[in-house]
Amino acid sequence: MVSRSEQRFIRINLITIIVTLLVILAGGIVRSTGSGMGCPDWPKCFDRYIPPTDVSQLPANYKEKYVAGRLKKNEKFAKYLESMGKVALADSIRHDKSITIPEEFNPTKTWTEYLNRLAGVAAGIFLFLTVVYSFTYRKAAKRIIVLSILNLFVVGYQGWLGSIVVSTNLAQWVVTVHMLLALVILAISIYTYNYAKQLNKAPSVIMYRILWLKGFLFFTLVISIIQIVLGTDVREAVDIIAKALAYGSKATWISKVGSVFSYHRDLAILVVVTNAIVYKMVIDRFSGKAAPLLTARFILITLLIQLLSGFALAYIAFPPAAQALHILFSTLLFSLQFYLYLLVYRTSTYKQ
């Protein structure tokens, strides 16, 4: 029987997953509106906990001040990369001219980025609560405590990396790592959620014997991660093209992206095919309201929305709403695939 303290942990953990997805949605809105540099400093925004609403609230030399701050922070980051042997990467940051270009104050972009940061703070609070409530498993499942604490450290590193995203003026590889870390945070949260839910259940003989299905699910997960990375690369290429065209001629952006878009589009076909196969595998073995079957159905719905948003981006001149939805549903698809993978995994392994 699940105790009240265990139920509380499961509930907080689920809320954490939902809030993390909302943070990713907020990040997608920031990207789609070009608000990534709406706050030129971090963790404050224009040296304030509550950002300004008008340029008159800023000092006359605010542009030079924040450029100088970025350069100073990037020098520290470059030295950190050099200590890891990434000399060429450190050198590319030092000589990136885009970092020296000041951003004009735009209240809409500033508050869009600020709300994104507030969402991140909310996620951090719930992750902290997850750690607090995880200690209810100190005797039954110490793994939940360890992973919850680890996730809190990952979020701390993610926050620091967010500051580097700002200081490097949205450097492509930093944005990609930032996105991958978001997937790690989600994966850990989903794992502890499922672990806690399965802890008091009897082992499922039906589920643990489908090892080949588990292997194929892992393959679909890998494809989804690659697809997300390629999508981030496409987005970065589009940003460069958009700036070069002064954000005009939207209909031509995709045609100028190059081969990375072709790879992203073609891999989408494989994503559809593999998930359709997974769905067929699941419906052949589960019926009614079985959790794997319901999850597989949600995967198909998510995949459909993801395809429609991708089509809108490619052929309807990048509508902002489609950009945000595309990012959200790509991570939601990964989340559901990972959860289905855990459901198919042998339940008895959750016993300590």
Cα–Cα distance between 82 and 85 in angstroms, integer?
A: 5
Query: pLDDT tens-digit profile of 5-64?
Result: 889 999 999 999 999 999 999 988 887 787 877 888 877 888 888 999 998 888 888 888
Cα–Cα distance between 242 and 253 in angstroms, integer?
A: 7
Q: Phi and psi dihedrals of 167, rounded to 5?
A: -70, -30
Query: pLDDT tens-digit profile of 253-271?
Result: 887 888 888 899 899 999 9
Q: Report whether 26 contacts 116 (CB < 8 A).
A: yes
Per DSSP, the three-state class of 184 is helix
Query: pLDDT tens-digit profile of 299-348?
Result: 999 999 999 998 888 888 778 888 889 989 999 999 999 999 988 864 43
The DSSP code sequence of 24-69 is HHHHHHHHHTT-TTSSSSSSSBTTBSS--SSGGGS-TTHHHHHHHH
- Tell me the HSE value of 21 on the side-chain side, using a 13 A CA sphere: 20
Which letter does DSSP use for residue 48 in this model? Answer: B
Structure tokens at 319: 């509508």
One-letter amino acid at 203 equals P
Query: pLDDT tens-digit profile of 113-131?
Result: 899 889 989 999 999 999 9
Query: pLDDT tens-digit profile of 203-230?
Result: 554 444 567 778 888 999 999 999 998 9
Q: 């992750």: which residue's tokens?
A: 127
- pLDDT of residue 352 exceeding 80, the answer is no
pTM of the model: 0.85
* % of the chain with per-residue pLDDT over 70: 91
322 to each of 120, 135, 176, 252, how far by Cα in Å? 22, 41, 19, 17
